[in-house]
Amino acid sequence: MGIEILDQATTPALEKLVQDEFNTNVAFYVHLKQFNDNVRADLKKRIKEVFFFTKGVHWKFDSFGIEKAGSRGTDILGYFIFRANDVVKLQKLFRDEFRDYDNAIKISCSVAKYQKTEEVFFELDV
């Protein structure tokens, strides 16, 4: 069973898979004072509020989680990872929503810009 690898999308289904030429990932880490049963729900509520106000900001939510101390460092981290075009506006919205969060020590942010170097397509019959 051979699979044909294509350099271009040749069907409407494959066209939907075409990735953007440039991709910007934005990661926010909320350094937390403590972790308890309410933290996860509170972080989710706050992030929903951030995106309630994101009119005009093109973004896609990638992931959310909480890392307890010791997994990669000494801080407890709530993390949110997005793809976005207007990073400055997203940072402002994020900062404004978490400014009064008593459980936060600080917020760290990473912005990574990627350029597509290659993209191929194939379909699998099942």
In a domain, 17, yes or no: no
Residue 12 counted as domain residue? no
Tell me whether residue 51 is exposed, middle or buried, using C-beta atoms within 10 angstroms of its C-beta: 0 to 12, 13 to 18, 19 or more: middle
Total count of domains within the chain: 1
Q: Which of 119, 103, 90 is nearest to 20 (CA)?
A: 119
Nearest to 60 by CA among 89, 80, 39: 80
Q: What is the pLDDT of residues 60-116, one digit of tens each?
A: 777 788 887 776 667 788 888 888 777 787 788 778 888 888 988 888 888 888 888
Q: Does residue 99 sit within a domain?
A: yes
Domain range enclosing 59: 25-115
Residue 6 lies in a domain: no
The predicted model scores a pTM of: 0.64
Whether 126 maps to a domain, the answer reads no
| CATH code, domain carrying 71 | 3.30.70.60
Encode pLDDT of 25-56 as tens digits: 888 888 888 888 888 888 888 877 766 655 55
Domain-located, residue 62: yes
Q: Percentage helix, strand, coil, to 5, in the chain?
A: 25, 35, 40
